[in-house]
Homo-oligomer: A and B are copies of this chain.
Amino acid sequence: MAYTLHRGDALTVLSGLGSDSVDAVITDPPYNSGGRTSGERTGRTARAKYTSADAAHDLSNFPGENRDQRSYGYWLTLLLTESYRATVESGAALVFTDWRQLPTTTDALQAAGWTWRGIASWHKPVSRPQKGRLKQSCEFIVWGTKGPVDPDRHPVYLPGLYTASQPRKGRVHITQKPVEVMQELVRICPEGGTVLDPFTGSGSTGVAALREGRHFVGVELSDHYADLAERRLQRELTRDDFELAGPEE
């Protein structure tokens, strides 16, 4: 298995990728959510929006959270359009989103040419309860394919609900996804194929891909997170070479 990590803006890097060069796009774009007013959504940092006021941790901020609603949809469409071009026929796209951006995400996916196939839920057992409300304990995975599903070429059965808490020990990103969830999801890509994640962050998608025998192509804008991802991906390869066992963080 091998990986490539591009440093730079997702749209710019994607437009340089070859057509039909990846088998699946699995990514967690900035949600651009978190606030009732436009000012609250666009004028605050991700850290200010998404970390509890009483949290003691000191995780780094991440960029891309300052678009208004209209331009968020437009930008996501452009991004998914370039991803579509880079993906082979009958390849899949899996896009994380929260409840607020779910309709925008399904619109963008379809506008970009993908055939929308469904919505899966990621349930986080540890989430803040709210008086007088239903808890927001799920994030969502909007998914689609480039053209028809080809079940014979890649006969995999995946769940529609994933339950896992965010990593706590060794967590390095505010919105870091659990590797065990990503390991299930990367199986939508055929073994030996290539997974693309235009928003690599700390690299959980890549780690999962390598562990499951898929190649990985990532893009990350922030140097801080690109360094982190590089380290985690490198360690994964080394571990692979020496056939070490045992769980990572």
Given contacts A99-B118, A121-B121, 17 further A-B contacts (CB under 8 A): A103-B103, A103-B107, A118-B136, A119-B138, A120-B138, A121-B138, A121-B161, A123-B161, A132-B151, A132-B156, A134-B159, A134-B160, A135-B157, A135-B158, A135-B160, A136-B160, A137-B160
12 pairs, CB–CB < 8 Å, chain A vs chain B: A103-B103, A117-B133, A121-B161, A123-B161, A130-B151, A131-B156, A132-B150, A132-B151, A133-B157, A134-B141, A134-B160, A138-B160
Tell me the residues in window 153-184 of chain A with beta carbons closer than 8 Å to chain B beta carbons.
Answer: 153-161
A188 at interface by CB-CB < 8 Å: yes
The reply on A129 being an interface residue by CB < 8 A is yes
Contact residues of A between 99 and 150, Cβ < 8 Å to B: 99, 102-103, 106-107, 117-121, 123, 127, 129-138, 140-141, 143, 149-150
Measured in the bound complex, the distance between the Cα atoms of B100 and A103 in whole Å is: 11
Residues of A within 8 A of B (CB): 99, 102-103, 106-107, 117-121, 123, 127, 129-138, 140-141, 143, 149-151, 153-161, 188
* Residues in chain B near residue A154, CB distance under 8 A: 132
A158-B141 contact given A106-B103, A119-B102, CB 8 Å threshold: no
Nearest CB in chain B: distance from A124 CB, A: 9
A188 near B134 with CB under 8 A, answer yes
Give which listed residue, B132, B136, B151, contacts A131 with CB less than 8 A.
B151
In the complex the two chains form, is B107's CB within 8 Å of A134's CB? no
A188: B residues at CB distance < 8 A: 134
Judge whether B137 and A159 touch: CB under 8 Å: yes
Among B132, B134, B149, B150, the residue within 8 A (CB) of A118 is B134
Kindly state the separation between the CA atoms of A107 and B159 in the bound complex, as whole angstroms: 28
For the complex, what is the distance from the CA of A154 to the CA of B134, rounded to whole Å? 13
Q: How far is the CA of A150 from the CA of B130 in the complex (A)?
A: 11
Given the contacts A102-B103, A103-B102, A106-B103, A155 and B140 also touching, CB distance less than 8 Å: no
Q: State A103–B118 Cα separation when bound (angstroms).
A: 12
A126 to chain B, nearest CB (A): 12
Return chain B residues, CB-CB under 8 Å to A131: 151, 155-157
For the complex, what is the distance from the CA of A129 to the CA of B118, rounded to whole Å?
13
Q: Which residues of B contact A106 (CB under 8 A)?
A: 102-103
Whether A158 contacts B143 by the Cβ 8 Å rule is no
